[in-house]
Amino acid sequence: MLIFGTRRTARQLAVLMLTCPQGHAAAHTVTGLVTRFTLFFVPTFRVRTRHVVQCTLCGLSGDVSKERAQELVTQAAST
């Protein structure tokens, strides 16, 4: 029998001050979510990668492009 599925791992890439769509000027986290295909519970290849920005004040989160996430990481590193 073949046992397969997916496993998702989250990695926090940066924390920086941004203004969220609700108008909060608060710390936001930039997280990379990687979904991997698993075979017999062993992660194999990457299925998809998402980048999410979340407001730490209200918890509102939204997907951003890889390029935008990279921009935010660079911005966080330079402040």
Total count of residues recorded for the chain: 79
From 13-21, 27-35, 36-44, 71-79, span contacting Zn ion (CB under 5 A): 13-21
- Pick the binder of Zn ion from 20, 30, 53, 69 (CB under 5 A): 20
Q: How far is CA 35 from CA 44, 57, 69, in A?
A: 10, 27, 17
Total of chain residues touching Zn ion, rule CB under 5 A: 6
Q: Is-contact 32 13, C-beta < 8 A? A: yes
What is the spatial distance between Cα 62 and Cα 56, in angstroms, rounded to a whole number? Answer: 12
Residues 38-77, mask of contacts with Zn ion (x by CB under 5 A) = -----------------x-xx-------------------
Where does this chain bind Zn ion (CB under 5 A)? Answer: 20, 22, 24, 55, 57-58
